[in-house]
Amino acid sequence: MMDPSTTLAEQAVLPKLPPLDYRIPRWAPEDLESRSCPFCGSQSRVVLRRPDDLPVAYCNVCSVWYVASIPAREKLEHFYQDYYDAFRPARLDARTAKFMMRAAGVNARTDLRIIRLAAIVGSLRAKRVVDVGCGLGGFLLSMQATSAEVFGVEISKEAREFARRYLGLLVYEDLSQCLVQTGPVDVIVLNDVVEHLDAPAELLVTAVKALRPGGVLAIWTPNGGAAGTDLVCAREWVGFRVDLEHLQYLSTRTMLLLAGVLGLTVEHLETTGFPGLAGIDQKPRAPSWLRTRLQEARAAVSWTPLGSAARVLRRTFTDMSRSDTPERTMGTYHLFAILKTAAGTTRTL
Binding positions for Zn ion, rule: CB under 5 A: 37, 39-40, 59, 61-62
Q: Which of 148, 140, 151, 150 is nearest to 122 (CA)?
A: 148
Least separation, in Å, of the C-beta of 254 and Zn ion? 8
Q: Which of 40, 75, 88, 87 is nearest to 248 (CA)?
A: 40
Least separation, in Å, of the C-beta of 40 and Zn ion? 3
144 versus 254: smaller Cβ distance to Zn ion: 254
Q: Residue 165: what are its φ and ψ, rounded to 5°?
A: -75, -45
Q: How far apart are CA 300 and CA 302, in angstroms?
A: 5
Least separation, in Å, of the C-beta of 59 and Zn ion? 3
Q: How far apart are CA 58 and CA 60, in angstroms?
A: 6
Least separation, in Å, of the C-beta of 200 and Zn ion? 11
Least separation, in Å, of the C-beta of 92 and Zn ion? 39
- Residue 312's identity, in one-letter code, is V
Least separation, in Å, of the C-beta of 306 and Zn ion? 51
Least separation, in Å, of the C-beta of 107 and Zn ion? 35
Q: How far apart are CA 215 and CA 224, in angstroms?
A: 26
Q: How far apart are CA 267 and CA 218, in angstroms?
A: 10
> What DSSP string runs through 201-248?
HHHHHHHHHTEEEEEEEEEEEE-GGGG-SSHHHHTT-GGGTS-TT--E
Q: How far apart are CA 312 and CA 320, in angstroms?
A: 13
Least separation, in Å, of the C-beta of 246 and Zn ion? 17
110 versus 348: smaller Cβ distance to Zn ion: 348
40 versus 120: smaller Cβ distance to Zn ion: 40
37 versus 185: smaller Cβ distance to Zn ion: 37
190 versus 201: smaller Cβ distance to Zn ion: 201
Integer angstrom CA distances of residue 204 from 9, 24, 82, 115, 331:
35, 28, 26, 23, 26
Residue 215 DSSP one-character state: E
Residue 310 DSSP one-character state: H
Q: How far apart are CA 105 and CA 125, in angstroms?
A: 14
Q: Which of 76, 64, 87 is nearest to 25 (CA)?
A: 76
Least separation, in Å, of the C-beta of 44 and Zn ion? 8
Q: Give the 3-state secondary structure of residue 97.
A: helix
Q: How far apart are CA 157 and CA 180, in angstroms?
A: 19
Q: How far apart are CA 248 and CA 272, in angstroms?
A: 18
